[in-house]
Amino acid sequence: MAQNYRIYINDNTLFISDVLPEQKEKIQQLEFQDFDLQTFYKKLKNGSKKSYIFLTKNPQETFRKLKKDCTIIKAAGGLVESANNNYLFIFRNKKWDLPKGKLEDGENMKETAVREVEEECGIKVLRREEKLCKTYHVYPMGTKMVIKKTNWYKMIVKGEPNLIPQKEEGIEQAVWLDKNHVGPVIKNTFPSIMDVMRAGGIL
């Protein structure tokens, strides 16, 4: 089975796939031949939530070509569960989010994920479990377009520790929520975070 990709550009979704995904919303098909990511990004309207697709026999090759002209940034984060079966969420930049951050020199993705969770929320991770998913996000940086790849891991903590949000990282709140009380998060988060929540069995 070919690997298919879902790339988020603000609230818009760009699929690279060999089949049309099943979804209610209409998907606009794009041609890759003369595609320019920066031009495409500039044309997207603020607040739009549309879906686009490159329908291709070889999604991996198309994704490789798309990445060629971009800066690639690697990041990692965690979906943390307490002993009370509550999940850790943070509030940053007026949105609900999950703790994550960029790789530092000499780190692998797994190490980054644990370090970022511990730094951003002031807790100790008891164990890191399986990788839940990876997400891709596009944004401009200077004259280049960035594709940010984030690996997400399931994590467990001992008990349910007090959370200390890392204010210097712009985190206003860090909270424990059970899966029946994530309504406020769903209403005000990023599409990529919804993917992590689905992968983690919250939704």
Domain ranges of the chain: 5-68, 72-199
* Whole-number Å distance between alpha carbons of 97 and 91: 6
Mean pLDDT score, 84-100: 97
Alpha carbon 31 to its chain's center? 25
Per the listing, tokens 């992590």 go with 196
DSSP 45: P
Nearby residues of 132 by Cβ (< 8 Å), 6 or more positions away: 79, 152, 153, 154, 196, 199, 200
pLDDT exceeds cutoff 70 at 1: no
pLDDT digits (tens, 9 = 90+) for 160-170: 999 999 999 99
| Strands 70-81, 100-102: pairing kind | antiparallel
Listed residue (31, 32, 27) closest to 50, CA to CA:
27
Res. 23: pLDDT tops 80? no
Give the CATH class of 72-199. Answer: alpha beta
**pLDDT bracket for residue 45 (50, 70, 90):** confident
pLDDT recorded at residue 2: 61
For 67-115, give the DSSP string. Answer: HHTEEEEEEEEEEEE-TTS-EEEEEETTEEE--EEEPPTT--HHHHHHH
Amino acid identity of 192? Answer: S
Beta strand pairing status for 171-177 and 87-92?
Answer: antiparallel
Question: Rounded mean pLDDT of 11-15?
Answer: 94
